[in-house]
Amino acid sequence: MTLRMTCSIDRGNFHLKIDLTAQDGEVLAIIGPNGAGKTTTLMLVAGLLACSRGQIIHDGLVFDDAAEGVFVQPENRHVGIVFQDGALFAHLSALQNVAFGLRARGTKKREALATAAIMLDSFDMGSYGAHLPHQLSGGQRQRIALARTLVTAPAILLLDEPTAALDTDGRDETRGLLSHVFTSFSGPVLLVSHQTEEINAMATTIARIDVQRDANVVATLTN
């Protein structure tokens, strides 16, 4: 299956043009300067932002088509996204955080918690199910965030600076975990990172954002 983006988005004087393709099993790293539109690209795929022009299509399903007025809501895209800080719910336990996505999709509570517990075990976090996020290390929180994303079986995985907020030990731990995840994840992965070592170790393809600055800022992302 192929993710194809031929679209652009306008935000004030910032204009991002995207011509991007990612295949199943591909780990596509998106690189570029701060403020160039890397996170914006992920948010477009996830449905957290809409294209101003053009299309986003995955496996024949049109996620976004500005000209035709088509916009698939995030919950119907089967896209998983992990943010830099994990974005865990502070008031929920690790187990409840992992079960959240399943519950949001209508899974009954008992089944969601049982499935979440199995996923926690697979991430070597089974004994931390009752812990709140503030009781976990940065690396452990990222494990929970990944587990919460993957338990819903997304077709596309988006990672926004997944190790940037971690110390050296947490960064190494999370990179090892991600490398393991990539061996079994069958869909396309889009990885935003400033870490050269991380990109070299995990990416199979690299797409660079080029920026032109005048009265407006025009960023172009191609691969």
| Average of per-residue pLDDT across 170-187 | 85
Q: pLDDT band for position 201 (50/70/90)?
A: confident
pTM: 0.89
**What is the rounded average pLDDT of the residues 153-171?**
86
In tens, the pLDDT along 99-138 reads 998 888 888 999 999 999 999 988 888 899 999 999 998 8
What average pLDDT does the structure give for the chain? 89
Q: What percent of the chain has pLDDT over 90?
A: 55
Distances (CA, A) of 56 to 53, 67, 201: 10, 12, 28
E runs forming strands in 101-213: 156-160, 189-192, 205-213
Encode 85-129 in three state secondary structure.
CCCCCCCCCHHHHHHHHHHHCCCCHHHHHHHHHHHHHHCCCHHHC
List the chain domain ranges.
1-78+155-223, 90-153
pLDDT on residue 211: 86
pLDDT band (50, 70, 90) for residue 183: confident
Q: 34-86 pLDDT, tens per residue?
A: 888 999 999 999 999 999 999 999 999 999 999 999 999 998 999 999 987 76
Using the predicted structure, report yes or no on whether residue 216 has a pLDDT greater than 70: no
Choose the CATH number for 1-78+155-223 among 3.40.228.10, 3.40.50.300, 3.40.50.10740, 3.90.45.10.
3.40.50.300
